[in-house]
Each structure stands twice: as structure tokens, then as C-alpha cells.
């Protein structure tokens, strides 16, 4: 009860949003002519002039605040489930084993195989029960470890969406049974993540054996991955990538307990293999690097460095910084006018019942935001701070005068004594 009362008092003490105190506005377009759920995909242009994590973002229908929820597109990262093989052995010169799959749909499988410098073909057959009946052939896939050729390693099987309870694997190639430790399966996501561009560049600088691409990212703008679009040649490569982000301006003061980190570093690998080796066709690509979550409330300089080793530098059509799509959803009245407002540092993030009870609809209308423009009715918030906070220097002057006065009185008392 006491905590609830404190929260209520804080909510009452927090500044209330008013249209006249927002610096910026963006009118919404294509509002549907029938009432229902509508969603706006937020572009990167909203973030620099808004507060961190869009805390001051408000939606108004005319002069009435409208409740909304922001949904972030699902990340590709998901928990992996490891499954151990059964009936592992050799048959007909091939390594074979079975796996009991969990209920539900799955797609990509990651084989856990030890060893280096090999190419093998994995044939996968599925069935619903281990009753000895012939299974359904799902497909044949190439796995490889081309470490000596500096082309990396891949033991991923890109199966079509399947729900077989029993999978049978036959591996033709230099993979012994004792090299097979099991496999990992990732559940299929209901939707694939969508990304929004933050910045892009085709300007690459060569520094020694490295290719360097630099970006400037405004304050408060999230970056969730770095995506690469290399040219057609070479057809196969494996290059290590390192990425750093450094503040280019002093961070804004916050109420957090600790200071924000002034920089961030992470790394990854770019892999593309399109070739035929020992009669095996290999087609594998990994052309993006996921970025860890970080909040920068000041502009940052991003530096992407690709280590080419002794190979010729890669030629890139584009390199992009991207963020996961954030969609602002609300219940739209038929044909009504709505405007986004932001740019009021005094506001905290809103808490709407609508967000708690929200259920996304597949047929939600897609609306767009017009260009950002200054709020024509903007005026600065009045300074409601106490007099001592507005004029801290006067407090120190008063303290010095008090000390001098007390010293003078003490001196007079000492002389009188």
C-alpha cells in the first residue's frame, strides 16, 4: 500500500504533457475510413529529437491524447534446444543416427560436429514414429569445415518447415560417429524480424590490410545490426569484422545511478561460399553482424573494420546500420486526424491500460508519418523549480555571509571576555 501511494504521488508530481511544450510534430497520413487498429512503422528520424527510448512520444487526436503501444519486431536470437543422437553408428560406409524431435514446427538445424577440414553430405529423412516403416526424404545438405582455405565452417541444415517427430541422418564423408555430439534446433518464429535503415554508406577506406567504413549516428538512435551488401566477386570469402561506437559529444545528464558507457565494441564474421568442391555444391552466406543493445543519449561515430588479411579487399555496394522495426499501434477513429508530438525533456514514459491489454491484429491498417516540422504553438515550459535550485549561487553567498557574521560575533564576544 505504501509503495502504491508513493507511486501515485510521483505520478501526480510528474509534469503533464501539453501540446504547447513539444518542440516537434508529425501528422499521420492514410488514416483508414473505418474504425480499427492502425500501426505506424517508426523511421529513424523520430529518435534524435525525442527522449531516450521515446519516453516523451505522444499521440494526439486533435487536442486529446490517444493511448498507444510500441511493438518491437522480434529478434532473430532465440533459445536453442540441444538434442542428443540415438542409434549412432556406421552403416554402408556412412555415419548414421536418429533424433527424437520435440513437438512443433522447426526449420534450421545446427549439427554439433567436431573435426576440421572436411566436406560431407547429410541426407535427412523424417517420420512420425520409429516403427521401421520407410520415412519421407526431406533433403540432402552439404556441411563443411574449410579452415585451411580460410572459408570458415558451416554445419547448419536449412530444412523446409517440418514437424516430423523422428529424423534419420546419414552422413557421407569423413565424419566419424564419435565426431557427432548432437544437434540444436531453433523454433520457428511466428514472424521474421523487420529492420529499418539508420545509415548507409558505400564509401570504404583502405588502411593497411583493413577496409574501414564510418558512420555518424544521431543521439538516442538504436542500432541492432550491421548488414553488408558485397559485390559479386569474389564468390567465396570469410572475413572477420570489428565494430566500435564512440560518443562524439558529451552525454546528456541522466537520473541513472551510473554514467553511460562512452563507447562499445563487438565483432563478427562475414562468410560467403558459392563453390563446388570434391563434387559437393556449397552455398552459404552470413552477411550481417548483430549489435548488442546499447543506449547512447549523444551522437556517436560508428567504425566498421573488415580484416582482409593478405587477400584483396572486398568491394561493397552498400554497408548499412539497421535497427529493428518499432511499430506504434493505436485504435484509430474513422477518418480522424492524428499527430505525433515529441521533444519535451520533462516527460517520462507514459503508462496506458491500452498497452497492457493490447492484442495485435493481422489486418491492422498501415499508416505513415509526414515530415517532421517544428510545433508552431511551441513555448518553453515554465521553470517550476524552487528558488534555491534556480539560483544556487545565492545559497552559497548566504552561507558565506552567515559564516562571516558568526565569526564577527564570536570575535566581539572574545574581546568582551
Asked whether the predicted pLDDT for residue 283 surpasses 70, the reply is yes
Higher pLDDT, 281 or 79: 281
**Residue 250 confidence class, pLDDT cut points 50, 70, 90:** confident
Window from 102-111, 238-247, 339-348 with minimum mean pLDDT: 102-111
Residue 186 has a pLDDT of: 66
Look up residue 301 and give its three cell numbers: 561515430
Residue 108 has a pLDDT of: 86
Residue 404 has a pLDDT of: 80
Residue 192 has a pLDDT of: 75
Helix runs in 139-229, H state only: none
- Report CA-CA distances (Å) from 168 to 87, 107, 213, 389: 10, 15, 46, 73
pLDDT 10s digits, 266-280: 999 998 888 776 676
Residue 235 has a pLDDT of: 87
Higher pLDDT, 278 or 68: 68
Listed in order, strand segments (DSSP E) in 178-299 are 180-187, 195-201, 205-207, 210-217, 225-230, 237-247, 263-277, 280-286, 288-290
pLDDT 10s digits, 132-149: 667 889 999 999 998 888
Task: Calculate what percentage of the chain has a pLDDT beyond 90.
Answer: 61
Q: Tell me which CATH homologous superfamily contains domain 81-187.
A: Galactose-binding domain-like (2.60.120.260)
**Residue 10 confidence class, pLDDT cut points 50, 70, 90:** very low
Length of the chain: 417
Asked whether the predicted pLDDT for residue 80 surpasses 70, the reply is no
pTM, full prediction: 0.72
Q: How far apart are CA 369 and CA 26, in angstroms?
A: 6
Task: Taking residues 177-200, report their average pLDDT.
Answer: 84
Cα–Cα nearest to 120, from 97, 138, 143: 143
DSSP designation for 404: H
Q: How far apart are CA 318 and CA 269, in angstroms?
A: 17
Instruction: State the distance between the two ends of the chain, measured CA to CA, in whole angstroms.
Output: 59
Task: Calculate what percentage of the chain has a pLDDT beyond 70.
Answer: 86
**Residue 255 confidence class, pLDDT cut points 50, 70, 90:** low
Asked whether the predicted pLDDT for residue 118 surpasses 50, the reply is yes
Task: Taking residues 189-214, report their average pLDDT.
Answer: 89
Residue 263 has a pLDDT of: 81
Higher pLDDT, 162 or 258: 162
The reply to whether CATH 2.60.40 applies to domain 195-324 is no
Average pLDDT score, the chain: 86
pLDDT 10s digits, 311-365: 999 999 999 999 999 999 999 999 899 999 999 999 999 999 999 999 999 899 9
Amino acid at each position: 500500500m505504501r509503495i502504491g501511494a508513493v507511486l501515485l504521488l510521483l505520478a501526480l508530481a510528474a509534469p503533464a504533457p501539453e501540446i504547447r511544450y513539444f518542440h516537434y510534430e508529425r501528422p499521420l497520413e492514410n488514416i483508414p475510413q473505418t474504425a480499427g487498429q492502425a500501426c505506424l512503422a517508426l523511421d529513424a528520424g523520430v529518435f534524435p529529437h525525442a527522449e531516450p527510448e521515446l519516453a516523451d512520444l505522444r499521440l494526439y487526436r486533435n487536442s486529446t491524447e490517444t493511448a498507444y503501444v510500441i511493438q518491437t519486431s522480434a529478434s532473430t536470437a532465440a533459445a536453442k534446444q540441444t538434442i542428443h543422437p540415438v542409434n549412432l553408428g556406421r552403416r554402408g560406409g556412412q555415419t548414421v543416427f536418429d533424433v527424437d524431435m520435440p513437438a512443433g514446427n522447426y526449420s534450421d538445424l545446427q549439427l554439433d560436429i567436431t573435426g576440421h577440414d572436411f566436406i560431407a553430405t547429410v541426407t535427412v529423412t523424417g517420420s512420425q514414429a520409429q516403427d521401421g516403416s520407410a520415412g519421407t526424404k526431406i533433403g540432402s545438405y552439404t556441411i563443411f569445415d574449410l579452415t585451411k582455405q580460410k572459408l570458415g565452417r558451416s554445419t547448419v541444415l536449412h530444412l523446409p518447415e517440418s514437424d516430423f517427430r523422428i529424423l534419420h541422418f546419414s552422413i557421407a564423408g569423413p565424419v566419424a560417429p564419435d565426431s557427432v555430439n548432437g544437434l540444436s534446433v531453433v523454433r520457428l518464429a511466428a514472424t521474421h524480424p523487420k529492420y529499418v535503415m539508420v545509415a548507409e554508406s558505400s564509401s570504404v577506406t583502405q588502411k593497411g590490410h583493413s577496409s574501414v567504413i564510418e558512420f555518424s549516428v544521431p543521439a538516442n538512435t538504436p542500432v541492432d545490426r550491421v548488414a553488408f551488401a558485397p559485390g559479386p566477386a569474389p564468390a567465396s570469402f570469410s572475413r572477420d569484422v570489428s565494430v566500435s561506437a564512440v560518443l562524439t559529444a558529451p552525454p546528456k545528464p541522466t537520473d541513472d545511478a551510473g554514467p553511460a558507457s562512452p563507447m562499445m565494441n563487438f565483432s563478427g564474421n562475414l562468410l560467403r561460399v558459392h563453390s563446388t568442391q570434391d563434387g559437393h555444391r556449397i552455398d552459404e552466406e552470413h552477411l550481417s553482424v548483430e549489435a548488442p543493445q546499447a543506449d547512447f543519449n549523444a551522437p556517436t561515430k560508428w567504425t566498421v573494420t573488415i580484416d582482409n588479411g593478405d587477400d584483396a579487399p572486398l568491394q561493397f555496394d552498400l554497408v548499412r546500420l539497421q535497427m529493428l522495426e518499432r511499430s506504434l499501434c493505436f485504435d484509430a477513429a474513422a477518418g480522424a486526424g492524428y499527430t505525433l508530438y515529441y521533444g519535451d525533456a520533462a516527460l517520462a514514459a507514459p503508462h496506458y491500460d491500452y498497452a497492457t491489454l493490447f492484442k495485435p491484429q493481422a489486418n491492422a491498417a498501415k499508416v505513415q508519418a509526414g515530415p517532421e516540422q517544428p510545433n508552431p504553438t511551441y513555448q518553453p515550459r515554465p521553470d517550476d523549480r524552487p528558488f534555491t535550485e534556480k539560483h544556487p549561487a545565492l545559497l552559497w553567498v548566504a552561507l558565506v555571509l552567515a559564516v562571516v557574521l558568526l565569526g564577527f560575533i564570536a570575535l566581539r564576544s572574545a574581546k568582551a571576555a
